[in-house]
Structure 1
């Protein structure tokens, strides 16, 4: 890390700390409330989340098109902070009106909030750091988020026995307000990267910015960090550019497989925990403990390994590690079939996902035009991901109804893991190729 990069990385880490602390302090409550009407209901809630995500995407596209980045970042986070306070007011002041239906509404709302919050943070990062910086620094930036994700479930586990589940919501709202402050300071310190067009991707817009010439990359930044230009465009540009670009479609396919695998693990965990505990607060505490173990493992990987892997072995290796972890983990889970084995698998999966794969996947977006860093990324990280959730949820339910159990899950997951790994290799190669083209143009 260069001396001039220290403050931006620290601010980015603080920003991510606040975002993930807000998410993780509430997520155990989301899991517990979602189980009020049983696991089968949760599967259908995933479809409701998918629909709501589709409806929200064009609204986010409008924000990105019409406002500067610090404005639409603030609007988004403050909107979710206000939503948390509304749900808190319902839980505290109208407890008789809060039941299973309200729990389902909160589950869907939080699921949308969860993806948009993390997506927007990483979009801000890839808009602020160059491809070379992303490979060196994103692992360090992610450490701040992991510390927040460690602090969140620890705080939830400590608060719930004394103040109850509802009190977690205003705490999370406060973290989101702090995230907005950190984003503003970082945005004032770090100049936005100039819009870029890489290679001859037919989905890339024709260059109209004076910083771009002939559809090639010009490595310049805006002269005034406070003068952030409007991205412009239309609400559905994220969908259109994604389906027109093989590279973005490849990222979408990779994200889809991540979501399917994560959902298979998620429902396996729900079933095991629901069999152990039948009250909301008790389940909240167990979910918080599992999250804490997972985040501790993630922290070790991010602090000691991630930067070395991406810098020395490349983005492709970082992307392939998660499919390999999943393949080995599902085989082990099918053999043992215990909650301990599931916790080990989920800890390994989440640690590699957040500690290694996620920074590498975000690096893929550093070699696309600026509008795609927000709009296409939003479409992929929210709607495509939730589509994978819905597919995984229904698949897990179907395998369960067929009586296939953990062995059936492993048989389904292994072929997908092979395809997933191959896609990771291709994306890593494409990212390096596009990065090389940008360096050629810059020189």
Structure 2
């Protein structure tokens, strides 16, 4: 750790190359997403806020239908092959949307915009899920604690670069061309993925390894719906699923509260856009600093259990403040702090939970949790918030639901972190016993 870079980011010298590849991989993934996100929002909102609630339901249904297909790919294909197949499918889908937009622009309307909204939401979930599943598969728990936060920096940089690229290219090239730009970044992401999967475990500097070297020719096997059954057969995976559900509900509460408050503003659309663009910039900058300098050290020193509880506690304080003040400034403070802690601290910590799971659970159970379970939480959050709105209940009512939910969320985070450590200790003990008894 004598290298200044290693001291600053808590990364050993031999780990720098694979970590930089992972950073590049995530940068390309998030750039591909964020280049298209403005178009998704513009198309989805055409039918009004109530329509967006039902688009959440449509997205949840589609992710449920896609999950067994993805599970079948995981069972029948080698790891690199099913990852490539997943990314290639979405890449070719982007090309198909591009051809429709350029060859038959007259059919682009509200319905087609809603189809793109749902497709993009599925696209968003699956390509980020596959990325983090690969990270949990390639790196150990100790490494995940130290540099998953640094790897997340790549995503934040992509989240900043993507919208900037859209603002630069949308007018001279046209919106359809952005689909091809996104496809290009998916191709770059795949190149980084191939490089990471071909680095041998001993070149990543694995210490205290509890798993054998991964053979890329080996199939994971199992059945297509194995991930669904695994979640309900394991208290640990079920706990992760509940944690993700509460996360999605809280995110949705904040999302629709922002939509409602912005809709009530008397200012012009341009002023609203400028205001939230500045808030996004501040949030991304805060996230970037936290990811680069704090996240890795925080997980290593405080433990995953404390790190997982930080976002729920931020939520409690934020919603209490929002209920008391009820202003746009309070909402902006809540959203900015929530998003910074979520992306810089909670997300890397949550992804380390899968490092102690089996390879099958990393891809199948994780896919079910990060897609259908997450979108199911979206649906619950959207419908509950909508019900409170229709009953004429304000921010205090939303806070009265969010605060106790967040307190349970914090307790669950503490339990998950401690359970993860118990599983890791058991795996190390088994590995030590196997080494002693082997001939």
TM-score (norm 2): 0.90
Structure 1 pair 218–85 and aligned structure 2 pair: CA distance change class (3 A): same
Which structure 2 residues correspond to residues 58-207 of structure 1 after superposition, within 5 A?
A: 58-191=68-201
Matched with 2:3 is: none
Q: Are 1:31 and 1:287, in contact at CA under 8 Å, matched by a contact in 2?
A: no
Residue ranges of structure 1 left out of the alignment (5+ in a row): 194-216
Deviates more, 1:56-65 or 1:281-290: 281-290
Shift of 1:274: 4.4
Structure 1 pair 339–367 and aligned structure 2 pair: CA distance change class (3 A): same
Within the candidate set 212, 218, 221, 2:213 is matched to 221
For the residues of structure 2 that align with 1:69 and 1:361, how far apart are their CA atoms?
A: 22
Q: Are 2:244 and 2:369, in contact at CA under 8 Å, matched by a contact in 1?
A: yes
Residue ranges of structure 2 left out of the alignment (5+ in a row): 1-10, 204-208, 433-439
For the residues of structure 1 that align with 2:430 and 2:37, how far apart are their CA atoms?
A: 45
Deviations 1:346-371 (A, max 9, x none): 22111111110111111110111110
Matched with 1:246 is: 235
Deviations 1:142-177 (A, max 9, x none): 111111111112222333455454433222111111
Matched with 1:399 is: 388
Structure 1 pair 290–157 and aligned structure 2 pair: CA distance change class (3 A): farther
Within the candidate set 421, 428, 432, 1:432 is matched to 421
Shift of 1:294: 2.8
Structure 1 pair 261–250 and aligned structure 2 pair: CA distance change class (3 A): same
Matched with 1:371 is: 360
Shift of 1:281: 9.7
For the residues of structure 2 that align with 1:282 and 1:120, how far apart are their CA atoms?
A: 37
Within the candidate set 15, 38, 50, 2:48 is matched to 38
Shift of 1:82: 1.6
Which structure 2 residues correspond to residues 236-275 of structure 1 after superposition, within 5 A?
A: 236-275=225-264
For the residues of structure 2 that align with 1:170 and 1:280, how far apart are their CA atoms?
A: 29
For the residues of structure 2 that align with 1:235 and 1:279, how far apart are their CA atoms?
A: 50
Matched with 2:379 is: 390
Deviations 1:114-144 (A, max 9, x none): 1111110000000000111111111111111
Shift of 1:279: 11
- Give the number of equivalent residue pairs: 417
Q: Are 1:156 and 1:288, in contact at CA under 8 Å, matched by a contact in 2?
A: no
Is the aligned partner of 1:11 residue 2:21?
Answer: yes
Shift of 1:409: 1.1
Matched with 1:353 is: 342
1:221 is paired with a residue whose SS is coil
Shift of 1:186: 1.0
For the residues of structure 2 that align with 1:53 and 1:292, how far apart are their CA atoms?
A: 31
Structure 1 pair 192–261 and aligned structure 2 pair: CA distance change class (3 A): farther
Within the candidate set 268, 279, 288, 1:299 is matched to 288
Matched with 2:31 is: 21
Aligned-residue CA RMSD (Å): 2.3
For the residues of structure 2 that align with 1:129 and 1:50, how far apart are their CA atoms?
A: 30
Matched with 2:435 is: none
Deviates more, 1:432-441 or 1:414-423: 432-441
For the residues of structure 1 that align with 2:149 and 2:217, how far apart are their CA atoms?
A: 26
Structure 1 pair 103–6 and aligned structure 2 pair: CA distance change class (3 A): same
2:162 is paired with a residue whose SS is helix
Shift of 1:219: 3.0
Shift of 1:31: 1.4
Matched with 1:204 is: none
Shift of 1:289: 5.5
